[in-house]
Amino acid sequence: MENTFEKIYEIVRRIPKGTVATYGQVALLAGNPRLARVVGYALHVNPDPDSIPCYRVVNRFGRVSPAFAFGGENRQITLLEADGIPVTDGCVDLTRYQWQPEISDF
DNA sequence: GGGGTGACGCGTC
DNA sequence: CGACGCGCCACCC
C-alpha cells in the first residue's frame, strides 16, 4: 500500500488543466477526508512542482493559500489564469471550476 | 518518545 | 462564508 503522501501526489497530478481541486477533495480521494492538513503539508514539501500542479489546489472556499510562498500569492493566481481559470480577489469560482473526478479517471 | 506546528475541514456561534 | 474550537496526520525539535 502506498504512503499517504504518494497518494496525494498521484491525485494532484491527475487534476485536469482548467480545473482546480480543494485540499479536502484531494484528501478524500487519498482515502481520508481528514487528511486535508497532510495534503497541505504534502504540497508544502512538493518534491516535484514540475509535475505536481500544487497551484491548482485551493482551500474549500476556492481561496488561494495566503502563504503561497512559491514567489508570492500572485504567482498562483497567474498560473491559474494561465490555465483559463479566472481568479477574483484570490478566489476561484468552485461552482464552475472545481474538479469533478469521474470513475473514468480511476 | 513527547510536544508544538501547519498550504485544512467541519460543526457551531 | 464573518469568527472560534476541535480533530486529523505527518514532520521538526
User: Which CB contacts under 8 angstroms, 24+ apart, belong to A8-11?
Assistant: A8/A35, A8/A38, A8/A39, A8/A42, A8/A43, A9/A42, A9/A47, A9/A48, A9/A52
Report the pLDDT value the prediction gives residue A1, as an integer from 0 to 100.
62
Give dist(CA A70, CA A66) in Å, integer: 11
Residues A34-91 have pLDDT tens digits of 999 999 999 989 989 899 999 999 999 999 886 665 566 788 899 999 999 999 988 9
More confident residue, A82 or A1: A82
The residue ranges of every structural domain in chain A are 2-105
What DSSP assignment string belongs to A8-23? HHHHHHTPPTT-BEEH
Closest nucleotide to the alpha carbon of A94, via C1': C1
Model confidence at A102, pLDDT cuts 50, 70, 90, reads confident
Q: Verify whether residue A54 is a known catalytic residue.
A: yes
Catalytic position from the list A12, A54, A58, A80: A54
Closest nucleotide to the alpha carbon of A43, via C1': B7
Only one residue has cell 481528514, namely A34
Report the pLDDT value the prediction gives residue A93, as an integer from 0 to 100.
93
- DSSP letter (8 states) at residue A61: T
Residue A34, SS3 per DSSP: helix
Please name the fold of domain A2-105.
Answer: Arc Repressor Mutant, subunit A (1.10.10)
State yes or no: pLDDT of A22 exceeds 90.
yes
Inter-CA distances, A89 with A20, A51, A66, A86, Å: 16, 27, 12, 10
What is the rounded average pLDDT of the residues A10-34?
Answer: 93
